[in-house]
Amino acid sequence: MNNLKKHSWEVSDNDAHPAGKAMLYATGLTDQKLKQPFIGIASCGYESNPCNMHLNDFANLIKDGMTVQNLTGLVFNTIGISDGISMGTAGMHYSLPSREIIADSIESFILGHSFDGVVAVAGCDKNMPGAIMGMLRINRPAILVYGGTISSGNYKGEKLNIVSAFEAYGKRVKGVLTDEDYEGVIRAACPGAGACGGMYTANTMSSAIEAMGMSLPYSASNPAKSAEKTRECFDAASYLEILLDQNIKPKDIITQKSLENAVRVVVALGGSTNAVLHLLAIARTADVPFTLADFKRINDETPVVGDFKPSGTFLMEDLHHQGGLPAFMKYLYNEGLLHGDCVTVTGKTVAENLENVSPVTPSKVNVIHPLESPLQKSGHLCILHGNLAPEGSVAKISGKEGQSFTGKAKVFDSEQEANNAISSNLVQKGEVVVIRYVGPKGGPGMPEMLKPTSMIIGAGLGSDVALITDGRFSGGTHGFVVGHITPEAFSGGPIGLLQDGDVITIDAETHSISCDLSEEELEIRRKSWKNKDISHLQGTLKKYSQLVSTASEGCVTDRK
């Protein structure tokens, strides 16, 4: 028996299980293929999203590579929810829960069919962390292949991306964009296959996952429509064979040190707040003690040097042209900011992978700024506590908006209410928009708030209005925003007790978020507080609301 078939022998080479073998013959597997290790190829491919529409083709390329390596690759599918399409609609409630469904699917399929390993090909925001969580649960040799970033769009000489379309709506409402140009931006923003092009959640998480060692070098920065991405798909099998031979599993790769590498890269690049949720969830699934305190520590000591959209200028395709993520990692490694001894899916350490890589050349006019003259001296993913967030919150503060904001609350119990108010010019300069009852339990599903933040930016209020929520933000969000407020309103958190006119202060320097209410006043309001009614829920969202942990715990559903 092939000694790499540690699990699949049970269904393909077991005399006591003839029915399984008979069914495998029915699929067209030959005697040779039955004797080879079985590798599941998990595709998050589907047709209705540019981030995912090409992934089934990549899955077939990965399968072709398996054939060359004498591995039996078998494709199966899991789901994805397009954040860009569902944003601002009821569908966004399903986005974060889809991460758990993806993890459940990979765990169920691989263990249910006794496969020896898995390669997942993923494209949109929740795909990558969901796949990694599933890999950790099965803890068999595994590699993630990122579907790659989209090319930039262009309209009348302006370089576009998906956030350009969201912000165009705010400009149209304000009257600074004609109907013709509004339609032109929408048609040109996404020119083909690939995930949203800035340092939004997809590119943030692909960078984090490559930094932690679970994808091949350059996976995060190889564009979707590039020869390098095609080669990466085909080559994945040869590295999976190394993992099988050396019995290297996800829990050997994802450690305290590799998570620190991931957070360091995310912060230095100016990545999405969603990385906090996802990396906390990955850590919990890996049984690695890693908390908001670890994020705060690394964030506070790491400068932001990546000049990426949404707050900056460049897209992931620009980093690709300047050496890709390994060139950036080599720059950080040379400066002593990365652990080089972490093992990766190549079978080599981070240091060994980077040995022959030339570091990116930093410049104040380049994608990557010098560490000695960064865009921000410490990280932008500020972990805030205070009487509005006793268990923590996450702010994405680039520094362009300033370091503190004080204003009167404008309170909304749903995103739609807030959107209607912003579009009707009912939100004024100096106010703090509060969107609550949109947390993991109360939303449910902790929907992203890109639409209201984009409308605020498009209306020219980005420096004059703050927004806080127990929901979360898209990687495309910028402005003075605080999300993940815990406890959420549905769980009795103080954010649920706010009223219009309460004074809120957000301070990145003191890492605090507070309101001008005494404990006595909060207690008085608590006695008359009425919770949101979610008795109408059914199916996925009902189960999610009942099972999900807090945002400060990563919103996992398999609590330990």
Q: For 126-147, write each residue's pLDDT tens digit.
A: 999 999 999 999 999 999 999 9
Q: CB neighbours of 69 closer than 8 A, spacing ≥ 6?
A: 237, 238, 240, 241
Distances (CA, A) of 537 to 90, 101, 104, 297, 458: 13, 18, 21, 39, 34
**What's the confidence (pLDDT) of residue 451?**
84
Mean pLDDT across the stretch 15-39?
A: 95
**What's the confidence (pLDDT) of residue 61?**
98
Distance between CA atoms of residues 202 and 122, nearest Å: 9
CATH 3.40.50.10170 corresponds to the domain 37-151+192-354: no
SS3 (DSSP) at 72: strand
Mean pLDDT of the chain: 94
Annotated binding site: 51, 83, 125-126, 448
Tokens of residue 354, six digits: 């980077």
Find how far residue 341's CA is from the centre of its chain: 25
Block residue for tokens 């829920």: 537
Q: Residue 467 in contact with residue 481, Cβ under 8 Å?
A: yes
Annotated binding site for [2Fe-2S] cluster: 51
Tokens of residue 486, six digits: 């815990």
SS3 (DSSP) at 287: coil
Tokens of residue 77, six digits: 């599918």
Block residue for tokens 């301070």: 507
**What's the confidence (pLDDT) of residue 18?**
92
Mean pLDDT across the stretch 46-54?
A: 96
Residue 478 pLDDT more than 90? no
Q: Residue 213 in contact with residue 342, Cβ under 8 Å?
A: yes
Q: What is the pLDDT of residues 75-102, one digit of tens each?
A: 999 999 998 899 889 999 999 999 999 9
Q: Which CATH superfamily is domain 381-553 in?
A: IlvD/EDD C-terminal domain-like (3.50.30.80)
Q: What is the pLDDT of residues 116-129, one digit of tens each?
A: 999 999 999 999 99
Mean pLDDT across the stretch 56-70?
A: 97
Verify whether residue 423 is a known catalytic residue: no
Q: What is the pLDDT of residues 327-345, one digit of tens each?
A: 999 999 999 999 999 999 9
Cis peptide before 310 (omega within 30 of 0): yes
Q: What is the pLDDT of residues 397-456, one digit of tens each?
A: 766 667 889 999 999 999 999 999 998 989 999 999 999 999 999 999 999 988 888 888
Q: Residues for the chain: how many in total? A: 560
| Residue 457: pLDDT band with limits 50, 70, 90 | confident
SS3 (DSSP) at 199: coil
**What's the confidence (pLDDT) of residue 399?**
67
**What's the confidence (pLDDT) of residue 400?**
67
Least confident of 84-88, 92-96, 244-248, 489-493: 84-88
Block residue for tokens 């380049």: 366
Handedness of CA 44, 47, 48, 53 (dihedral sign): positive
Mean pLDDT across the stretch 478-507?
A: 95
Give domain limits for the chain. Answer: 37-151+192-354, 152-191, 381-553
| Residue 559: pLDDT band with limits 50, 70, 90 | confident
Mean pLDDT across the stretch 365-373?
A: 96
| Residue 485: pLDDT band with limits 50, 70, 90 | very high
How does DSSP assign 115-170, residue by residue?
Answer: -SEEEEEE-STTHHHHHHHHHHHHTSSEEEEE--BPPPEEETTEEE-HHHHHHHHH
Closest CA to 418 of 379, 475, 465: 465
**What's the confidence (pLDDT) of residue 412?**
97
Q: Considering 8, 219, 474, 545, which one is annotated as catalytic?
A: 474
Residue 430 backbone zone (phi > 0: left; psi -120 to 50: alpha; other: beta): left
SS3 (DSSP) at 532: coil
Annotated binding site for Mg(2+): 83, 125-126, 448
The percent of residues in the chain predicted with pLDDT above 70, rounded, is: 98
**What's the confidence (pLDDT) of residue 1?**
67
Distance between CA atoms of residues 526 and 523, nearest Å: 5
**What's the confidence (pLDDT) of residue 59?**
98
**What's the confidence (pLDDT) of residue 169?**
82
Tokens of residue 86, six digits: 């569902």
